[in-house]
């Protein structure tokens, strides 16, 4: 098996169609080393020497941060001067789905009243 890594449709240096695995009994497992943190990347794989390939897109490489809590971890916080969401930040929601973040916070806690209200900005 061969694979290559692309960013914005451009093959990454040193990662353009390189051998990553040998197929044995119809199964294979491969690894791409020296991938820079960032993305989103697209990985394309093919049987060595053929033109047909399959691809997997939206791959991010880098640190993984785990935040755990109860309902207070579901996007609550101060919204004054909130920065826009970052495209490389994803979340695993309470319905067991991976999502790109649409907003950092969905509801605001008001320090004066201590109450939660809908986001207005």
Q: How far is CA 17 from the centre of its chain?
A: 23
Which DSSP string corresponds to 26-68? TB------SPPSEEEEEEEEE-TT-S--EEEEEEEES------
Using CA atoms, how far apart are residues 57 and 60, in angstroms rounded to an integer?
9
Q: pLDDT tens across 75-87, in order? A: 555 556 666 777 7
Above 60 in pLDDT, residue 6? yes
Instruction: Judge if pTM exceeds 0.75.
Output: no
Per-domain boundaries in the chain: 2-61, 71-111
Choose between 36 and 66: higher pLDDT: 36
Q: pLDDT tens across 81-108, in order? A: 666 777 777 777 777 877 776 655 555 5
The pLDDT of residue 119: 46
Q: pLDDT tens across 9-47, in order? A: 999 988 999 999 999 998 999 998 889 888 889 999 999
CA angle, 13 then 101 then 117, to 5°: 160
């Amino acid at each position: 098996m061969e694979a290559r890594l692309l960013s914005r449709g451009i093959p990454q240096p040193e990662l353009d169609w390189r051998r990553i695995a040998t197929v044995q009994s119809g199964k294979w497992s491969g690894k791409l080393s020296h991938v820079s943190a960032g993305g989103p990347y697209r990985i394309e794989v093919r049987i060595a020497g053929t033109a047909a390939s399959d691809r997997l897109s939206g791959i991010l490489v880098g640190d993984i941060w785990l935040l755990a809590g109860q309902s207070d971890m579901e996007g609550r916080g101060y919204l004054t001067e909130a920065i826009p969401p970052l495209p490389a930040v994803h979340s695993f929601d309470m319905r067991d789905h991976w999502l790109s973040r649409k907003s950092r916070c969905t509801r605001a806690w008001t320090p004066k009243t201590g109450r939660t209200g809908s986001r207005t900005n």
